[in-house]
Chain A
Amino acid sequence: MPSRPDLRLSITGNAAYSRRTTAGMAKRKFSTLPGFGLTMGYTLLYLSVVVLIPIGGLFLRTLDLSWTEFWRLVTADRALAAYRLTFGASLIAACVNAFLGTLVAWVLVRYDFPGRRFLDALVDFPFALPTAVAGLTLANLFADNGWLGRFLAPLGIHAAFTPFGIVIALTFIGLPFVVRTLQPVLENFEREVEEAAATLGAGRLRTFLTIVAPTLLPAVLTGFALAFARAIGEYGSVIFIAGNKQYESEIAPLLIIIRLEEYNYTGAMALAVVLLVVSFLLLITINLLERWASRYQN
């Protein structure tokens, strides 16, 4: 079946596309096209100056610390509390997004209903909105006297200034990732396979669980990882709604800033290195997931 190139201007999974098609391209050397030296050179130069050297600088600086000193800084109680909060809240938010994001993607691709296109465009909203605005409006909404908070307060659920609020903010900013990663996969899904299962006697739920879900799993996991990675580094949308109380509702990025304001540069750098390393690991994991996902497609 001829395949249409993915027309959606994607905010998330394009990196996978480039890796996939690179592998599929002919192995001939297109040395006839000019400009390789120039563009490659500039690319590497710019990349080094803007990204590699500064990041390298950070690592180098932390090497000034002895290993014990480093370890002490990154395992301080306050730091540990911050990690727990950051990773825990990010995990929960990513899980919520994985589940509900799959549902949203399914509804957007499979069904036609009034307002579908509007909903589809809306999904990108968290990605386009500045984080500070997101934080501000969510904090306002979920405050005990806010539009939504007033319904939750009588139930004893306080969203603002608690870890719960952090999860809400992280769910907001991670929302597009699972949906956008899953949509192309669902769109290319062969409906006839589901019909085949039906002709063989399988009911709808069984068909979904044994035939559809396994095929969607790699994409869902990729979206999950992307949402998770985004969430652990998130700052702007969280600090408005979190209580920012140390040990309790203080996320790791905030702790870094506090350390900076205390002129505790080494403390800040050590924490930053931890976050960087986690970012790198996640990036690699996401690459691997995307590779797995594209292999599955073929």
Chain B
Amino acid sequence: MSAFLQYLVSGIAVGCGFALLASGLVAIHRVTRVVNFAQGMFAVVGGMTAGSLLAAGLPHGAAEAGAVAVAGAVGLAVGIAATGKRGTSPQSALIVTLGIGFLAYAVEIMIWGDNPRSHPGLRGAVTLFGAHVQKQSFLVIGVAAAVFALLALFFGRTYAGKALSACASNPYAARTMGIDPVRMGLVAFALGGMLGGLAGVLLTPLQPISYNSDVLLITNGFAAAVLGGLNRPVVALAGALTLGVAESMVAGYGEASYQTVVALALMLAIMMVRASRRTALQEEAAR
């Protein structure tokens, strides 16, 4: 029972990290229709930068915030490269993000080397019904919950958030009213960068990251986001939590190296079910 609880809480924490990443993917996709394959890189940049800033003597809080800001700036830069030129198709932009993801490997190795790195988070553990759970796990869950609440407020209550939703819903109408979808797309990329960066900052103390950790992160984030058709943040959140817990259980009771297989298998299954459903619908419509 205590082992189960331990795996559950750490699974939820890791799932929250995936969910942050996935919500960045969803925000970018909704506004720009671009699947951003550089999303995992934002987390690597966030995690690595936080470590460097802490090593440079910045206090906790400031270092993490700085790292999230850097990831946001990187997100903006990726957005400019991928969608800044008016008329770029989402497919072309997707390839650009993939290319930037690979380019980032070289830059990251130059700056931080190729060994896994970590930084201290919230130290210590608490005992909960006999299970030892790291305090950092609770921090991840708390921060993620607060961020999701803020995101809901931003999109549901603020004028800028509604303008972003408007661009996602009908870019033509938005443009005729003077809302610039390209600029709003860049806002979404910056937001996606910050969310990805935050995921990296929070997860790095739990599991060290290296330059190529983005593959694992994007696989999980994408699997969660695809669950909601890349457009529904709440479904993506549920998907991410399910993935995090499932992987934690697989690692705990089985073999840690099978973790990613779980994410990949789930993503494949969803895509196959979705594809077959769409065909059935199209057949229905053609009748």
* A, B from the same assembly: no
Chain A residues near B (Cβ < 8 Å):
none
Chain B residues near A (Cβ < 8 Å):
none
